[in-house]
Each structure stands twice: as structure tokens, then as C-alpha cells.
């Protein structure tokens, strides 16, 4: 079982104690024992050496109040109850600072289907304080073709007036994730992220 990056994963609460015990860095953080019971998710990540065959790699970025660590877990597939895409920006905007609201409104006018990850998504999903004065706004856009990618060209104008760094990537139908700044650069070769790692891809080959 392999999940796309940024999928939000809900685990079986009955399995959480053994999963938590497998991560030495999590010991001594008592607040984590109730993480799953509180309805909070983990996030799918790319596999790393040592995850173990047949296990699903997941991550848990902790808020500043819990040390702001990034914990890595690898769980058996039957410990997963469900998985879902990252939250829509339209839903998560309720947790965004007032200074972000004009930027978010402009992005949603351009691309209503925008989803978010990073600090804003985690604050929305958990109710915990993840955002800070230096947080980025991390976004994802599903893009079916070159015309859809071209529609996002206006992000450069929106980005020029933002109070925060506007980060993110568009994801093609084949699962390639292209950072929007890479695409906006007009470079002939682009950095692409996939389930199994990063690669360079010719711009002309992204949608072929």
C-alpha cells in the first residue's frame, strides 16, 4: 500500500499505543498519547531507508508547543482507517490570520479547487497553534493539462503582494508534483517530486 504525499491518514485508535511506542523520539511527549483519540491525523510521506517492507510511511509534524519535531512512523496497512486529500483552502481559511485573508481570497478566485498543507492545514485539522509570523502558505493545485498550469500564471502577481511566502506545487494526473515557482521560471527542465523521489523532467514532457 502506497499513498500519495500529503494524504491525511486516520489511524485505528486501538493501534496507536503500539505505533507510538515504536518511535523513540515520541517518548516523553505525553500529549501524543491522545492524538488519535482527538481525531487528529498523520500525513503520508515518501518511504525512507529503514521503514520496513510492507509498511506505510507516515509523518507527524508537531506544533511549536510540542517541540516542533517531525516524527516518522511506518505502520501496517490494516492500522489505517481512512485517508483523504489535504484540506481545501476554502475550508482552512477560517484558521488563517487576518493579514492572509486578501491573498487567500485572490487565490480562491483564481483556483477554487486549491488545497493546502503545512502550518495552516495542520492548525485547521488539529485546532493546535501551528502558525507563526514566519509561516509560509503551502498550497496544492490539481492540474490536468498545460492549459490548467498556464491558468496559475497569475500566482506571480498575487505572490508579489503577499505578507507571507507563497509556496506550493501543482500535481499532474500522473502524480508528478511541480513547484509552482519552477514552472513560473520558464526553465526547460523542472524539478518534479514523485512518490519515490525527486527527478528532473523536461518542461515539454510534463503533460505528455
Backbone angles phi, psi at 184, to 5 degrees: -70, -15
Q: Give yes or no: 136 in active site.
A: yes
**Is 138 assigned a catalytic role?**
yes
DSSP assignment string, 13-44? GGGHHHHHHT-GGGTT-GGGGGTTTTT--EEE
At 189 the three-state DSSP class reads strand
Choice among 31, 136, 159, 167 that is catalytic: 136
Q: Which of 91, 138, 145, 196 is catalytic?
A: 138
Long-range contacts of 199-207 (CB under 8 A, 24+ apart): 201/176, 206/146, 206/149, 206/172, 206/176, 206/178, 207/145, 207/146, 207/149, 207/172
At 29, list the grid cell: 511527549
Active site positions, annotated: 136, 138
Amino acid at each position: 500500500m502506497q499513498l500519495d504525499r500529503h494524504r491525511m491518514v486516520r489511524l485505528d485508535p486501538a493501534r496507536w499505543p503500539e505505533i507510538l511506542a515504536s518511535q523513540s523520539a515520541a517518548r516523553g511527549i505525553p500529549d501524543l498519547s491522545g492524538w488519535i483519540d482527538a481525531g487528529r491525523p498523520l500525513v503520508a510521506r515518501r518511504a525512507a531507508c529503514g521503514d520496513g517492507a510492507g509498511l506505510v510511511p507516515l509523518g507527524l509534524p508537531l506544533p511549536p508547543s510540542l517541540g516542533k519535531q517531525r516524527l516518522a512512523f511506518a505502520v501496517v496497512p490494516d492500522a489505517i482507517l481512512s485517508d483523504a486529500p489535504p484540506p481545501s483552502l476554502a475550508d482552512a481559511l477560517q484558521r488563517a490570520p487576518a493579514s492572509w485573508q486578501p491573498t487567500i481570497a485572490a487565490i480562491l478566485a483564481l483556483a477554487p479547487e486549491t488545497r493546502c498543507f503545512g502550518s495552516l492545514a495542520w492548525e485547521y485539522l488539529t485546532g493546535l497553534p501551528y502558525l507563526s509570523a514566519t509561516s509560509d502558505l503551502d498550497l496544492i493545485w490539481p492540474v490536468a493539462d498545460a492549459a490548467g498550469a498556464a491558468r496559475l500564471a497569475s500566482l506571480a502577481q498575487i505572490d508579489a503582494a503577499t505578507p507571507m511566502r507563497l509556496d506550493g506545487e501543482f500535481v499532474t494526473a500522473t502524480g508528478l508534483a511541480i513547484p509552482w515557482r519552477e514552472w513560473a521560471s520558464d526553465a526547460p527542465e523542472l524539478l518534479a517530486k514523485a512518490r519515490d523521489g525527486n527527478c528532473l523532467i523536461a518542461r515539454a514532457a510534463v503533460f505528455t
